Structure 1
């Protein structure tokens, strides 16, 4: 069980971080999963399911049959298919995890929805808000569960953050800071530099700080961005300022050009929270007073396999007959996609076919 560890400073007695309410992933009802696109992310997802949940992966589909077979052998998955269509015809599959690059999310998730499968779609949900709207409408017509796999939203330390905000421990929130930058070698063939694959920093990395700011601040009143394009024309770096109707600000950065601290903070009139890098994965949280002293800290007991929490949430929702999650509602996913569209417009970046 992940717990808060009190670390009370002078004059701060009585202000402590609450323990997370996150259910144990292994206790979630077991579903039969099919995995689309057995790449790096799918590998980490299946490892997390095997090590930390009761979920069962029963099929994997790839455009390359040999790749599917190798993945199935590695993880003892019963069925391997050389096409996504074959996987979707397997009636053992309750829910599909779409692990392809985000340029393929719309097509692959739509196929799964039309096949009557529940769907967990890797972030970023789609290339743009128009595609997101179509997926959501299709899932509602078909009556299947749909959720963005923004794994951060389901982690224990984020539940601690939610409770702190709900309890008003920080006072009035004024500023949110968050960044995510990775130093990527410039290679035209790499998907993050390929316009035809919806490359760039924003959808792959920047979605994390944008989603975090949305979680903390709620809907934005304004979104403004400046940036620098990479040599292929995709967004290489973006700095984003968001505001709320109450006057709070979020200052967010993403880049392909440098490894940044990947930290986040929430500053209020009474105290602030700091989340160590990488803030979007299982991380420490510190509650810090106005005197800059640490009042309390939360340390997650589980630092690996963080993708298990999103799978467990999906399994709980599907088993309960729910079509979306309160922790990552579809309306929230759609709002974030609209924000990302706005940022790309400010940067002058469009994808082929838009």
Structure 2
């Protein structure tokens, strides 16, 4: 088995979680980290020893020994960081949101196709065992016809509040940070909505502190999606059909979530067993990227460009309706 040599661009909290889980992936080796400061890169390497510590993203992208780079920077940097890596011939796993808008996403995908380089959005939930089991149950018809999806995702940030949550320059706001999971989940189950409604409560910085989204479908199905930074929510997802209901319990987007199955008109609940590995849950997507690279794919069959672009276009539509804008939207 060919060892896939990884680099991580960014040295923050999510980069450390990914690095920890990469140890669980057979045939993967973390050999480099890139940060905008030498101190940050060296501090990262104390916990996750690597062969190379780069004090610039350019140096990491230019490292000839690196096969693939995981981009773990703030939202607003995903576009330029991805282009940098692809232009240096590096495969890329880019953390969500893939870009600030669909225009950026299209340019990223276009360059990847031109350079024949692998590129994928890191929507980790799509690889988690509980998500795959949920899809299997829906596909088996256990819920009947899906009529509604209800998802809440919210928390009240504790001091010191990360700048990225509310800073418009960093792509702050609930929709791009956590609401994306609500939208992704609803679209995975019901598909592209026929009608979209959205309203938000602005924070003092202008980004959305809360956002309520309603998807409507021609068959009468609906999805109600709510995200907030002003209160702590259960962070659960209910998928309701004509024959039963599935509840993904707390942290529905993480592998720690439990599947509860409620049959029609039944008071009892069946907890569906799902195998859970150690770790945070990033190892699943890393394994998939490794598999894609070993057989020479430049696009994931699980998260193809078309799905990522559709998600970004839907987020653009939601933001336009709710009045959530970023500087990147005005760029040509």
**TM-score after normalising by structure 2:** 0.94
How many equivalent residue pairs?
Answer: 327
**8 Å Cα contact 1:35/1:98 also seen in 2:** yes
**Could you list the per-position Cα deviations for residues 275-297 of structure 1 after superposition, in whole angstroms to 9, with x for gaps in the alignment?**
11110001111221012322452
Structure 1 residues 293 and 188, CA gap change in structure 2 (3 angstroms) = closer
Structure 1 residues 326 and 243, CA gap change in structure 2 (3 angstroms) = farther
**Deviation (angstroms), 1:242:** 0.8
**8 Å Cα contact 1:188/1:232 also seen in 2:** no
SS in 2 for 1:169: coil
What is the aligned partner in structure 1 of residue 301 from structure 2? 326
Q: Which of 289, 303, 317 pairs up with 1:342? A: 317
What is the aligned partner in structure 1 of residue 9 from structure 2? 36
> d(CA) in 2 for partners of 1:175 and 1:292?
19
What is the aligned partner in structure 2 of residue 104 from structure 1? 77
> d(CA) in 2 for partners of 1:29 and 1:332?
29
Which of 1 and 2 has higher RCO (CA within 8 Å, sep 6+)?
Answer: 1
**Could you list the per-position Cα deviations for residues 125-151 of structure 1 after superposition, in whole angstroms to 9, with x for gaps in the alignment?**
111111111111111111111111111
What is the aligned partner in structure 2 of residue 50 from structure 1? 23
Q: Which of 254, 263, 270 pairs up with 1:289? A: 263
SS in 2 for 1:33: strand
**Deviation (angstroms), 1:303:** 5.5
What is the aligned partner in structure 2 of residue 211 from structure 1? 184
Structure 1 residues 32 and 344, CA gap change in structure 2 (3 angstroms) = same
Matches within 5 A, 1:115-194: 115-185=88-158, 190-194=163-167
SS in 2 for 1:344: helix
What is the aligned partner in structure 2 of residue 250 from structure 1? 223
What is the aligned partner in structure 2 of residue 265 from structure 1? 238
Q: Which of 300, 304, 310 pairs up with 2:279? A: 304
What is the aligned partner in structure 2 of residue 20 from structure 1? none
**Deviation (angstroms), 1:161:** 1.1
Runs of 5+ consecutive residues of structure 1 not aligned to the other structure: 1-27
What is the aligned partner in structure 2 of residue 18 from structure 1? none
> d(CA) in 2 for partners of 1:251 and 1:189?
27
> d(CA) in 1 for partners of 2:218 and 2:51?
52
Structure 1 residues 152 and 189, CA gap change in structure 2 (3 angstroms) = closer
**8 Å Cα contact 2:129/2:276 also seen in 1:** no
Further displaced range: 272-281 or 342-351: 342-351
> d(CA) in 2 for partners of 1:61 and 1:243?
43
**Deviation (angstroms), 1:186:** 8.1
What is the aligned partner in structure 1 of residue 212 from structure 2? 239
**Could you list the per-position Cα deviations for residues 160-191 of structure 1 after superposition, in whole angstroms to 9, with x for gaps in the alignment?**
01111222221100011112111025889712
**8 Å Cα contact 2:258/2:271 also seen in 1:** no
1:198 aligns with 2:175: no
Runs of 5+ consecutive residues of structure 2 not aligned to the other structure: none
> d(CA) in 1 for partners of 2:189 and 2:162?
36
**8 Å Cα contact 1:239/1:254 also seen in 2:** yes
> d(CA) in 1 for partners of 2:26 and 2:151?
30
Structure 1 residues 342 and 186, CA gap change in structure 2 (3 angstroms) = farther
**TM-score after normalising by structure 1:** 0.88
SS in 2 for 1:350: coil
